[in-house]
């Protein structure tokens, strides 16, 4: 698989700089268990005398374990005459693995290759202290013009039986994590519902709701003013379970900048509605305390407050700033405006808790969102060297996905391969998703070519396979429907777990609300 460039193409010329491969070339999911999971890694700053260690990006093998390569350009353990390389198991299944580390060269006869078999624990490294002499590295053409080298790291379980065992262990581990997350969230919701029931009983004796108060200390006030930064309180929960946050702009916000202290309240989660508030800037002399209070209608994630809460020169001159700690002290208090409103909010929270509990039960493992796309006039597009975007796949989060297809190939697949990329057009950038891209066989579903795994997708940046399938194989094995000159592709996407799905959904809703303002 190939890492993406910075943006989707407006023309077929795009530079792709790294590739993830199985063995030495792109293959489909029917590969044999004897093949390595390989990754070609670019190691930069080899000539830089200040570089002591270079850590590659982590990549995930087919078992599910995550690996990376640690390179010491000046050697490890003070031996500066040799470049050292070590393989690290970052996360996954401990066990016995075979690994190969190859230093690539334009002349294949000069490539340096070490192969070993070791037992790995998570966090342990194995490798070669004397991988290659530094002088040989510098003088024999291993370095590119920008001072970088290419190393191919290949890893596989030591035996076929171990591969199957590790895959089963990883699946069990993944299921246990999902189950633990689900049970934790379910217990929180059940506890929250119980607390709401208890609170409902105690409300019978209340004539008027009490304030839920929180103290917020703004430390390093002077430094915050100079940096013109804002600071937020920790999440504060009232007795209904609503989550609030106080936001302070030490040097002012908007029209209050440089002259006024600006303060805002925000309802992060809970029940939108009318609340009484009281925000106080505290002073040792209670008579000097600055207080803002009233009743306001709050919506989720929308802030309310004052760009001109108090003049900064007045605050500094009248002893509000604690000189010993360079800090301001705030107290913010909230409550529903009356007993009836509190009972209504409580009932709404109970209904919401039951709804979320039911959703968690139904969505222990998120389901794939799937779309099938028919690529028409394949031969004509191949001759014209064009590319095409598939119809959009709108998943159940509202994210928009498309396939970017080059019938005549792109990058290293140009002229002899079908190239397929995956693009996140709308959603939350840097989202981690499970993907499945399939080339469907018209007459034999068991022959479908399937690419699947997990990847982090950035907004409007392409990612995929320059060498998805060779043109000869398309013709000879019947993937191209000769009668209609069409190819059928199927795209399936879903977040890997419920926690991420909920997080992406909240962030996407927040973005949509901001765009509507």
Q: Which band of pLDDT confidence, cut at 50, 70 and 90, is reported for residue 34?
A: low
Mean pLDDT throughout 492-516?
A: 88
Whether the pLDDT of residue 469 is over 50: the answer is yes
pLDDT at 479: 94
How far is 414 from 385, CA to CA, in rounded Å?
9
Closest CA to 217 of 366, 58, 331, 109: 331
Binning pLDDT at 50, 70 and 90, where does residue 79 land? low
- Pairwise CA distance, residues 288 & 416, whole Å: 79
Angle CA 159–162–167, to nearest 5: 130
Least confident range of 72-81, 233-242, 312-321, 453-462: 72-81
Task: Examine domains 212-341 and 369-515 and report if their fold is the same.
Answer: yes
* 51-66 exposure pattern, b = at least 16 Cβ within 10 A, e = fewer: eeebebeebbbbbbbe
pLDDT of 20 strictly over 70 = no
Q: Is the pLDDT of residue 42 over 90?
A: no
CATH number for 369-515: choose from 3.30.470.30, 2.60.210.10, 2.60.40.1180, 3.40.120.10.
Answer: 2.60.210.10
Domains of the chain, residue spans: 37-164, 212-341, 369-515
Closest CA to 253 of 291, 309, 295: 309
Give the rounded percent of residues in the chain with a pLDDT score beyond 70: 90
Among 2.60.40.1120, 2.40.30.20, 2.60.210.10, 2.60.120.10, name the CATH number for the domain at 37-164: 2.60.210.10
**pLDDT value of position 86:** 92
**Closest listed residue to residue 237, CA positions, set 207, 201, 199:** 199
In angstroms, the Cα distances linking 84 to 73, 81, 127 are: 7, 10, 8
Query: CB neighbours (10 Å) of residue 305?
Result: 19
Q: pLDDT by residue (tens digit) across 179-227?
A: 888 888 888 888 888 888 777 666 554 557 888 899 999 999 999 999 8
**For residue 168, what pLDDT is reported?**
87
Arithmetic mean of pLDDT, 11-38 = 42
pLDDT at position 452 is 93
pLDDT band at 30 (very low <50, low <70, confident <90, very high): very low
Residue 124 has pLDDT above 60, yes or no: yes
Q: Which CATH architecture has domain 212-341?
A: Sandwich (2.60)
Average pLDDT, rounded, for the chain: 85
Statement: residue 2 has pLDDT above 50 = no
Cα–Cα distances in angstroms (integers) from residue 449 to residues 236, 407, 455, 474, in the given order = 51, 16, 19, 11
Tell me the mean pLDDT in the region 160-169.
87
Give the pLDDT score at 514: 86
| Average pLDDT value for residue range 433-459 | 93
Confidence tier at 23 by pLDDT (50, 70, 90): very low
pLDDT interval class at 4 (50, 70, 90): very low
Q: Given this model, what pLDDT does residue 36 score?
A: 81
Residue range 271-280: average pLDDT?
A: 92
pLDDT at 362: 64
pLDDT at residue number 268: 92
Query: pLDDT digits over 422-433, tens only?
Result: 999 999 999 999
Q: Is 434 helix (H, G, I), strand (E, B) or coil?
A: strand
> Region 478-485: what's the mean pLDDT?
92
3-state secondary structure 458-497: CECCCEEEEEEEEHHHHHHCCCCECCCCEEEEEEEEECCC
Tell me which residue of 52, 53, 88, 48 sits closest to 68, measured CA to CA. 88
pLDDT digit string, tens, across residues 228-271: 888 999 999 988 888 999 999 999 998 989 999 999 999 998 88
Residue 6: per-residue pLDDT: 37
End-to-end Cα, the chain, rounded Å:
40
Provide DSSP, 31-99.
--TTS-EEEEEEE--SS-TT---EEPPPEE-TTS-EEEEEEETT-STT-TTEEEEEEEEEES--EEEEE
Counting Cβ atoms within 10 Å, is residue 244 exposed (0-12), middle (13-18) or buried (19+)? buried
Q: Reduced to 3 DSSP states, what percent helix, strand and coil does the chain have, rounded to the nearest 5?
A: 25, 40, 35
Segment 157-182 mean pLDDT: 86
Dist CA 130 CA 221 (whole Å): 53
CA angle (393 as vertex; 390, 398 as ends), nearest 5: 145
**Residue 19 clears pLDDT 50, i.e. is over it:** no
């Amino acid at each position: 698989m190939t890492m993406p460039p910075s943006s989707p193409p407006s023309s077929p010329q795009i530079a792709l700089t790294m590739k993830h491969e199985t063995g030495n070339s792109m293959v489909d999911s029917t590969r044999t268990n004897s093949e390595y999971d390989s990754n070609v890694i670019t190691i930069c700053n080899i000539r830089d005398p200040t570089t002591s260690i270079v850590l590659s990006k982590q990549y995930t093998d087919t078992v599910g374990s995550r690996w990376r390569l640690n390179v010491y350009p000046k050697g490890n353990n003070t031996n500066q005459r040799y470049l050292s390389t070590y393989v690290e198991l970052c996360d996954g299944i401990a066990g016995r693995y075979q690994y190969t580390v190859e230093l690539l060269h334009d002349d294949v006869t000069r490539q340096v290759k070490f192969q070993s078999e070791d037992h790995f624990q998570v966090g342990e490294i194995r490798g070669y202290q004397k991988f290659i002499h530094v002088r040989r590295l510098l003088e024999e053409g291993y370095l590119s013009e920008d001072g970088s080298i290419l190393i191919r790291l290949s890893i596989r379980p030591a035996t076929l039986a171990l591969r199957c065992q590790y895959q089963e262990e990883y699946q069990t581990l993944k299921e246990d994590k999902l189950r633990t997350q689900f049970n934790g969230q379910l217990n929180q919701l059940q506890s929250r519902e119980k607390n709401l029931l208890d609170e409902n009983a105690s409300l019978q004796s209340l004539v008027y709701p009490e304030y839920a108060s929180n103290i917020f200390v703004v430390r390093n006030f002077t430094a915050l003013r100079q940096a013109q930064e804002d600071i937020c309180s920790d999440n504060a929960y009232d007795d209904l379970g609503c989550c609030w946050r106080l936001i302070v702009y030490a040097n002012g916000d908007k029209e209050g900048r440089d002259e006024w202290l600006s303060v805002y309240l925000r309802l992060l989660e809970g029940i939108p509605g009318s609340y009484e508030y009281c925000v106080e800037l505290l002073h040792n002399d209670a008579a000097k305390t600055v207080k803002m209070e009233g009743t306001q209608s709050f919506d989720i994630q929308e802030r309310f407050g004052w760009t001109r809460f108090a003049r900064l020169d007045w605050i500094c001159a009248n002893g509000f700033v604690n000189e010993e700690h360079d800090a301001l002290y705030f107290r913010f208090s909230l409550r529903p405006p009356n007993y009836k409103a509190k009972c209504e909010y409580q009932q709404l929270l109970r209904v919401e808790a039951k709804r979320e509990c039911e959703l968690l039960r139904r969505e222990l493992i998120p389901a794939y969102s799937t779309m099938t796309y028919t690529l028409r006039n394949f031969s004509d597009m191949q001759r014209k060297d064009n590319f095409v975007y598939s119809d959009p796949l709108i998943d159940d989060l509202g994210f928009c996905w498309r396939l970017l297809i080059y019938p005549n190939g792109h990058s290293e697949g140009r002229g002899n391969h079908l190239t397929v990329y995956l693009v996140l057009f709308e959603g939350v950038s840097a989202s981690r998703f499970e993907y499945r891209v399939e080339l469907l066989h018209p007459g034999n579903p068991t022959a479908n070519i399937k690419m699947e795994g997990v990847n982090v997708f950035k907004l409007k940046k392409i990612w995929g396979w320059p060498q998805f399938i060779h043109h000869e194989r398309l013709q000879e094995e019947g993937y191209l429907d000769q009668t209609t000159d069409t190819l059928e592709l199927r795209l399936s996407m879903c977040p890997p777990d419920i926690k991420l799905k909920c997080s992406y959904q909240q962030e996407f809703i927040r973005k949509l609300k901001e765009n509507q303002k």
